[in-house]
Structure 1
Amino acid sequence: MKRLVLTSLLLCLPAFAFASTCELSIDSTDQMRFTETELRVPAGCETVNLTLTHSGNLAKTVMGHNWVLVESDQLSAVATAAMAAGAANNYLPEGDDRILAATDLIGGGESTSIEFSVADLKGKDLTFFCSFPGHSALMKGAFILE
């Protein structure tokens, strides 16, 4: 009986291990690049805690970076709206439902984190990018929910 209970518990461990918050991190540089062009989230994750760091030295007014998640077909439109939103709004259009998650804008030597649910994002084609003016052409990547 004890062996059956232990076996049952061991079989359930993977489900419990992935049901919690999954941690991701990505770095950004003064060369207008993210260190990753693809971020993968395991299938069992319900929540993601993403940390963005800026390993450069330039201030956020000159070379600021953020991390913004959108459906891939919305990237261009959201990037354009972000530029219009301006620096006072961290280059993020206020209340825009197309933005699924976004960090604060940071400068060299800084970091920021965001926690968000991925429960409603499964099966969608997702892209992350930096919304600082002109950065989205180079600073973008695929966000894949496995």
Structure 2
Amino acid sequence: MKKTTYLAGLVLMSATAAMPAFAADDDCTLEINSNDAMQFDQTELSVPASCEEVTLTLHHTGSMPKSAMGHNWVLSTTDDMPEIATDGMSAGADNDYVKEDDDRIIAHTALIGGGESDTITFSTKDLDADGDYSFFCSFPGHIGVMKGTFSITE
């Protein structure tokens, strides 16, 4: 029994010693909350340039349904934001207020309501560390207050 416990301890220590190698993945994982007061809990998000992919989870901490207070998270260049939001209104709720196949959109989540979450993973290979990127909610009228900056840090 002691030999088994000793071996199990060695295995656990070996696994724990390897854990720091995964720390870079944590830098490439983001979470952001939205609520019934039409707010994101962060206005700045960034990832290191070493991230080839980013995983982002949007949480809706409120209780209102998505038909009344739905939120999504859309990433684009800052200059493209207003037109993407306008085109999204025409696309409608069934399309998450995102125009289908809009190549100006770098990434976006689904439209979610209170108590829901959505997770996406997107590539950063075409993003420039000097680029001017922003995120926003494209639900009609929300872009005015639900927006922030996204950056790639060196």
Q: For the superposition of Structure 1 and Structure 2, which TM-score range results when normalised by the shorter chain? A: 0.7 to 0.9
Corresponding residue of 1:136: 143
Paired residues of 1:128 and 1:141 also in contact (CA < 8 A)? yes
Determine which of 17, 21, 34 is the counterpart of 2:40.
34
* TM-score for both structures, normalised by structure 1: 0.86
Unaligned runs of 5+ in 1: 1-12
Q: Which amino acid aligns with 2:80?
A: Q
Deviations 1:103-135 (A, max 9, x none): 000000000000001111123110000000000
Which has more radius of gyration?
Answer: 2
Aligned residues: 133
- Structure 1 segments of 4 or more deviating over 4 A? none
Closer, same or farther: CA 110–19 of 1 in aligned 2, 3 Å: closer
Deviation at 1:68, TM superposition (A): 0.2
Deviations 1:58-101 (A, max 9, x none): 00000000000010000111010001111121101001100110
Closer, same or farther: CA 108–20 of 1 in aligned 2, 3 Å: closer
Question: In the alignment, does 2:49 pair up with 1:49?
Answer: no
In 1, distance between residues paired with 2:31 and 2:43? Answer: 12
Paired residues of 1:20 and 1:45 also in contact (CA < 8 A)? no
In 1, distance between residues paired with 2:33 and 2:54? Answer: 16
Paired residues of 1:85 and 1:92 also in contact (CA < 8 A)? yes
CA RMSD of aligned residues (A): 1.7
Paired residues of 1:67 and 1:103 also in contact (CA < 8 A)? yes
SS in 2 for 1:81: helix
Q: Which amino acid aligns with 2:136?
A: F
Deviation at 1:21, TM superposition (A): 7.5
